[in-house]
Amino acid sequence: MEARLNAVARKSAAKTQAAPEPAEKQPGRATAAAAAGKAAGKADDAGAQKPAVKRASAAKPSAKTATKTTARSAAKSAAVAGDAPPKKAARTRAAAAPALPEAEALPLPVETVEGAVRPAYWDEACADLMKRDRILRKLIPTYGPAHLVSRGDPFVTLARSIVGQQISVKAAQAVWDRLVAACPKLTPAQLLRAGPEKLAGCGLSRRKAEYIVDLADHFKAGRVHVQSWAEMDDEAVIAELTQIRGIGRWTAEMFLMFNLLRPNVLPLDDIGLINAISANYFSGEPVTRSEAREVAANWEPWRTVATWYMWRSLDPLPVTY
């Protein structure tokens, strides 16, 4: 990680002295939109999709490579602490997310989410993260009073998570709206009566329709310990949830974050989180799960909160489950 981070520092110094790229080569709104769409892609029952990390091919050592490696070593501490090279990071963020009209740039008001629950720890977490992390010190005030919210219904949260696996936020919302129109009560009994055929008619894949029916059956038959989840630790809840078809680790982690409002969840299988760490801490260079975990070590015990702001850096509109 030291070698990779310090190459970023060397590149930053070189690029700030060079002439800017022509406008047509700069990434535009479409790039940011594509990144945001991919950020919401979710994992299926085999587990969440893993971030695609490009590995550099082996090459013979050279004087240039040695200089690059030395430069990477010098910047590791700063990047992990949130002190990524400021000039290059600023250029990358400015190119990937140009100024938007106010109506597009503002996050979704929390008041528009019916039954929203605000985490009790949110203000303390934000204050602590802003003291420790230079990137979050800039990001957190950008989104004002917006915060992670929970609707508080375990079954609905899990069903929405299944719907959102491996598709964009926009597509997931369209499917969910059709599902709500077909089954407005959204109870396990109503979805069991609807059956997989009717659910598939709402735009779900056949497999996802079966997953939701199986989830409804688990809840109706009492095979999950809903009343005990609040007292169980994170890994115990994940272990129980992943026994249900269609629920892998990523879906269980979304449940911990959005329903149980656990403060220290780090969903490393979430491609949006990996992309955001890359953009904010590594000037857009690919990062491994290990490198992302090392950056996130500075966020404990508030990794849920930091992850939420990483998502917002890619898409200002909050996602709820």
What confidence tens digit (pLDDT) does each residue in 261-314 have? Answer: 999 999 999 999 999 999 999 999 999 999 999 999 999 999 999 999 999 999
| CATH number, domain with residue 240 | 1.10.340.30
| Domain annotation covers residue 37 | no
Q: Which of these, 243, 235, 222, lies nearest to 262 by C-alpha position?
A: 235
| Domain annotation covers residue 184 | yes
Global confidence as pTM: 0.66
| Domain annotation covers residue 169 | yes
| Domain annotation covers residue 214 | yes
Q: 232: domain range? A: 154-258
Q: Which of these, 78, 63, 58, 57, lies nearest to 6 by C-alpha position?
A: 78
Residue type, 279: A
Q: Do 42 and 251 form a contact (C-beta atoms < 8 A)?
A: yes
Residue 118, pLDDT score: 81
Distance CA 252, CA 237 (A): 8
Q: Structure tokens of 302?
A: 């508030």
Q: Is the peptide bond before 301 cis (omega within 30 degrees of 0)?
A: yes
Angle, helices 249-258/234-241, rounded to nearest 10 degrees: 130
What confidence tens digit (pLDDT) does each residue in 79-137 have? Answer: 555 554 433 333 333 334 333 332 232 333 343 455 567 899 999 999 999 999 999 99
| Domain annotation covers residue 191 | yes
- Residue 150 DSSP SS3: strand
| Domain annotation covers residue 232 | yes
Q: Do 179 and 204 form a contact (C-beta atoms < 8 A)?
A: yes
| Domain annotation covers residue 173 | yes
| Domain annotation covers residue 268 | no
Number of domains within the chain: 1
